Chains A and B, each alone.
Chain A
Amino acid sequence: MSGFTNLNSSVGYSQNSTPNGGAAPPYQNGPVQTYPAMYPPAGYYGAPPQQQGYSTIPGHAAPAPNKAPVTNNAHSANYYHNNHQQQQNHLPQHHVAPSPYSAPLSSAPPSQPYAALPSAAPPPTNAHYNQQPFQPHPPYATPGSYYGQQSYHPSSARQHPSLVPVTASGPGAPLYPIVSYPSAPGSSQYGTLSSSQSTSAPVGMPTQMVGAPLHQYSAAPPPSTTAVQPGYGVGPPGQTAPTVVNGQGSAAQNAVHQHYTQSHQASLSYDSYSGVPPGSGGADTDQPPSGTPSTSVHSSPGHHQGVQYGYVANSGASSASATTSGPAAAAAAAAAAAAPSSSSSDDDDEEEDEDEEAGGDTSSSTTGSASPVPNSYDSLEGGSYPDSMPPSNDMTNQAAPYGSYGYPSMQSAYQQGPASHTDASPSHDLYGQSGYQQYSQPFPNLSQLSAALGGLSGVPELEVEALRPVNLLQERNLLPPRPLEAPEPNVSSDLKKVNCSPQTFRCTLTSIPQTQALLNKARLPLGLLLHPFRDLQQLPVITSNTIVRCRSCRTYINPFVTFLDQRRWKCNLCYRVNDVPDEFMYNPVTRSYGEPHKRPEVQNATVEFIASSDYMLRPPQPAVYLFVLDVSHNAVEAGYLKYFCESLLENLTKLPGDVRTRVGFLTFDSTIHFYNLQEGLSQPQMLVVSDIDDVFIPSHDSLMVNLKESKELVKDLLTSLPEMFSQTRETHSALGPALQAAYKLMSPTGGRITVFQTQLPTLGVGALQAREDPNQRSSAKGVQHLGPATDFYKKLALDCSGQQIGVDLFLLSSQYADLASLACMSKYSAGSVFYYPSFHYIHNPAQLEKFQKDLERYLTRKIGFEAVMRIRCTKGLSIHTFHGNFFVRSTDLLSLANVNPDSAFAVQMSVEDSLADSSLACFQAALLYTSSRGKRRIRVHTLCLPVVNQLSDVYAGADVQAITCLLANMAIDRSVSSSLSDARDALVNAVVDLVSAYKSNVSNLQQSGLVVPASMRLFPLYILALLKQKALRTGTSTRLDERVFAMCEFKTQPLQQLMRLVHPDLYRLDNMSDQGALHLNDTVVPQPHLLHLSAERLSRDGAFLMDCSNVFYLWIGKCCNEMFIRDVLGCPNYASIPPNMSHIPELETPLSERVRAFLDWLQDNRAFSCTIHVVKDDASAKATLFQHLVEDQSEVASSYRDFLQHIQQQISK
């Protein structure tokens, strides 16, 4: 994007300075008309037209109950779309919501978290839900989130009395045309939405609408005006009123009271504005082309809305002609003033800087000076002032959509509410308060408000249950029937609805202790586990000229801020009061003005912003991939090359990227081979550099080539590569020099280096020695050499990180290869490590299969480049330790050269100052990255938790899984920096401390035995399981590389995966009943109960499934029901089951279908697909299964019972 060049144009500045001050909307510059002409909608972004990645999924608003969620989504989606008109809708989307309207009533069961299968099209309404697997509760939906929106609506209710009825009817009536346009791109990796093309949606076919609803406004090019309409609301003709504009279809639910819900409004407004017959709706779109938004206003039947609308237009897009502005002024006095000032400039080129804040930047920028590149990045994310408008055309365009295209004003809906509020009414200062009740109760009473605000309302019963003392020595059945869910923070239900998904953001203590003293008393670690770049099915993407952030702490505006009044908001992290910028006053979702609390940013805890040029230090880099392949004799023996080449060939077109994508290849043994793939060559040219002591790049421009232009050559190379080295006798490996060469190749652009290595590097810099003594593998004392042997790889990683290069390592070695040293190259450059011990393409088919599957996922998964992540927390809390793969560049800034959707992070925190003056603690993780399509984006997650001052509350909110994972991370650190036995002792002490702290402080029962709160009842079990993991076990023979790899996994795996690794889920499959089964799209997914991991739970006449995260074991007992064997495995009897069976045949029997449905369901949202091993009772493979039965005694480790006894002894000491 060209835009980034001028950060703060003088122009922008001047505007700020103008008397209008903040009020003056920069955007107003251009007359409306100009825009349309100049920028056809498609033109925005200049991005290649089709960005499939970002499909928006058309979710439908589920009518009644669900509505809320829907609406939100819709908002976001809509929002975006404006910008991204170009992009095409995804087909899938369409599928999903074929007939959204028709089935409005069927509400998707919110409960089905997992149903994320886009393919199966549920009833349209449901579709939404299903796709959002991650969020069990409809967080997004909550329209009325915390901040009560209603109060604000300027336009008084009066307008639409008539409207009201309509809405009211809505709920019951299926008709609603509530089209929500959820942005969720189900399929695509980028759940972001942005891209759906409005264009696609031509005339208002309902189905289409679904797909591209959002855009339509903006997107719809002039000609298509008609088309646009459909998008909005196109309900079936019969349904008159309620076409909800932006997918907020939810409106229906509440009767009159809910007026605030946007959807209602929308529908009303819609009609009015467009002037089109109600059903048709799309008027708005027209406007843009026509260039006169104002017209629309007029057309609107005398609603206030009209006025607002106009106003909006002004602010957003300068379009506002005088007419519009005029009315606006009337409506909202304050704002109005600003509008007129709007400048003259029609051009988009002008940048509009709004910021007054420019000053803020300076500090950050200065900081940057010392350091080379990196600092600047941090300033980008952290400090710089985003506000300044991008000078570039693009930006303007973006801006334009709002204004120019005139969103149909949705406001009318608001007015319906009986409680109509005056616009800027001072009376409603309490935004927040009024807001939340919207859902349930139209008219909140004070007590509710206060409760909600305090976040303390909570659910007492839950708390009681969580606190129930459990005597571990007596209770034997501790496992819940279903895998443990994250505990819900004890905040008001409205906050819960908008809170961040626990899969993304989890805190070890969902009730934050008020002081460090209290935290120390609890003896539990305080920390966060994040999975920030997780694949999301639905993600609001926001394009806005102004990304609203706190001026002192740079927090992004989020659902947990407080609006003091319409023009000011209070940061929830540092408590500074900030102004609401003008642009933010306009809500693109409802197309109404003066409702900052309804903006998608304030409605969703997870949002993604399209960042402006202020967030760039250089133009966004293209996707660049370099593959560094080991071709020594060892590698050829292992035979990975052929499978790698095949996999890459297959996925060449699926590599994330755009037309600028570049690839390169480099192979090495004792020399380094480069490949010239310059377009025009008849075949790839190999260049050999044998001087490994001083590596140089033989040719500068032809080694990294544009994938599109040189595709044939790349394919040639991949086809011939496996043969090329088949006869090699070279056994040495010059990995270090090869990496240096790779670094030199990549440093101009940044990108991703993928290294395949099969042995210990033996030549040149970075050569390593074999350090492992095989005889010591099982020695109980001191496992040595867990740390790197040299700092070469670390330095290299830091260099790479500085140049925005991420290094991923695939280690396929049968011998010791010193992963502890090699892994450093990935650890500090934010890469990932894959390890396939004893890989051999013939002798180890299981590893080969895993390698192929991993590789496919690896090559096609989403990727973000030149990323930084900053985690902020409420004043008083401070982060002191980070876990994961990255480089901590400054106190709270993580530099991630690459970010991938499969890696997670953890941080530890302490309470530095008492949190007594706040009842809520918030955490915000902001990830700034460049998408593979060259867009700069910021993904922001915000989590809000209550602060408590009672120890019992702290225990009630303890999240045992998160605590276990955090402790595991801490133990890994400890074992590297100190020793393994220290780390193990520390883990045991954690249990001892907890039990004794609970005993002495909370439980007043004098019972003997081990008493822990119910919320922590699994803690000793998990710790025991941790101690038996490869990473931390002693006594059992464990190869050093495998141990180190297990440690790497602990540091980077997301929580769910990690928990399954530590404590696998065990189910009995042969007698599954339909009780409690899930019904997803036609298939019944049985839900067998979890079993304890103990051999006593296995029986000879059963079949059991163990889910170890990346592998399933299906254990068949000797006397297993023959029917099960026949129906599921397709073998006549037990004896005929082949020993290495690794798949479940697709049989037509009902039992097989259910088993497969269950397996599929388990795998559903895992990034890497699992392999399944059928294990027979007598097979030696049993050992692999039995090592996971952590409650049992093994040769060297104690059983759960003994462990508890040991703990008890420790306590009584």
Chain B
Amino acid sequence: MEAAVFILSLVDCCALIFLSVYFIITLSDLECDYINARACCSKLNKWVIPEMVGQCLSTMLMLISMHWFIFLLNLPVAIWDIYRYVKVPMGNMGVFDPTEIHNRGQLKSHMKEAMIKLGYHLLCFFIYLYSMILALIND
């Protein structure tokens, strides 16, 4: 059972890692001008909800399986994702808005955020991996 939870989390975490990498690549494409803002934002906005869902999923899994430490580790990120999504002004086209992404250093902060998330997901990945192996051994 425990192993199953962690295997699921591991898969989820892999997906999130890929997503983070995808965000970073797309944003840096924008930074280097290989892609235009409109295309970039519509690509990224598509994945904002899946990312949020993925993050919440692993948080819920940890809550349900009562791994408090990992739950607390996941919770702030999940809250941030939700907050970010909810706070999008009505007139904007999503978390990433093509008309604003080049203003006020937004691109940089998005990039920074994606980097931090990548690091975080990598950390989680190893934690899950370790926990999974531990769980399998214990079984």
Contacts and interface: CB of A to CB of B under 8 A. Distances in A.
State yes or no: do A and B come from one complex.
Answer: yes
A790 B30 contact: no
Contacts of B91: 787-791, 794, 820-821, 824
Given A364-B33, A890-B102, 9 more contacts: A374-B36, A790-B91, A791-B92, A827-B99, A880-B104, A881-B104, A882-B103, A887-B37, A890-B36
A143 interface: no
A794 B99 contact: yes
Contacts of A787: 89-91
A370 B39 contact: yes
10 nearest A-B residue pairs (beta carbon) = A788-B91, A371-B36, A888-B102, A370-B35, A890-B33, A367-B34, A881-B103, A791-B93, A787-B91, A367-B33
A789 B102 CA distance: 22
Contacts of B93: 791, 794-795
A887 B98 contact: yes
B112 interface: no
Nearest to A802: B38
Interface residues of A, number: 34
A378 interface: yes
Contacts of B35: 367, 370-371, 375
24 contacts: A364-B33, A367-B34, A370-B36, A370-B39, A371-B35, A372-B36, A374-B36, A788-B89, A789-B91, A790-B91, A791-B91, A795-B93, A798-B98, A820-B91, A880-B103, A880-B105, A882-B102, A882-B103, A887-B99, A888-B37, A888-B99, A890-B36, A891-B33, A973-B104
B81 interface: no
Interface in B15-60: 29-39
Contacts of B39: 370-372
A890 B37 contact: yes
Contacts of A794: 91-93, 99
Contacts of A889: 36-37
Interface of A: 364, 366-367, 370-372, 374-375, 378, 787-791, 794-795, 798, 802, 820-821, 824, 827-828, 880-882, 887-891, 893, 973, 977
Contacts of B98: 798, 887
Given A371-B39, A791-B92, A890-B36, A798 B104 contact: no
B104 A370 contact: no
A790 B39 CA distance: 20
Contacts of B33: 364, 367, 375, 378, 890-891, 893
A798 B38 contact: yes
Interface centre among B90, B91, B104, B107, by most A CB within 10 Å?
A: B91
A1092 B107 CA distance: 44
B45 to A, nearest CB: 11
A827 B102 CA distance: 15
B22 to A, nearest CB: 15
Contacts of B29: 370
Nearest to B90: A789
A891 B31 contact: yes
Nearest to B101: A888
A668 B108 CA distance: 44
Contacts of B101: 888
Nearest to B93: A791
A985 to B, nearest CB: 18
A893 B99 CA distance: 12
Contacts of A791: 90-93
Contacts of A827: 99
A973 B29 CA distance: 27
A977 B87 CA distance: 11
Nearest to A371: B36
A375 B38 CA distance: 11
A558 B73 CA distance: 56
Contacts of A790: 90-91
A798 B99 contact: yes
A909 to B, nearest CB: 12
Interface centre among B32, B37, B101, B104, by most A CB within 10 Å?
A: B37
Nearest to B89: A787
Interface in B107-123: 107
Contacts of A795: 93
A1175 B137 CA distance: 92
A375 B99 contact: no
Nearest to A375: B36
Contacts of B31: 891
A893 B37 CA distance: 11
Nearest to B39: A371
A671 to B, nearest CB: 27
A802 B91 CA distance: 19
B102 A891 contact: yes
Contact of A788 (B30, B37, B90, B107): B90
A81 to B, nearest CB: 37
Contacts of A788: 89-91
Contacts of B30: 890
A371 B105 CA distance: 22
B90 to A, nearest CB: 6
Contacts of A891: 31, 33, 102, 107
Contacts of B90: 787-791
Contacts of A977: 89
Nearest to B43: A370
Nearest to A888: B102
Contacts of A374: 36, 38
B36 A888 contact: no
A908 to B, nearest CB: 8
Contacts of A887: 37, 98-99
Interface in B52-70: none
A791 B45 CA distance: 14
Nearest to A827: B99
A966 to B, nearest CB: 14
Nearest to B99: A828
Nearest to B37: A889
A787 B100 CA distance: 13
A824 B90 CA distance: 13
Contacts of A371: 35-36, 38-39
A788 B99 CA distance: 13
A980 to B, nearest CB: 15
Interface centre among A366, A370, A787, by most B CB within 10 Å?
A: A370
B102 A366 contact: no
A880 B109 CA distance: 12
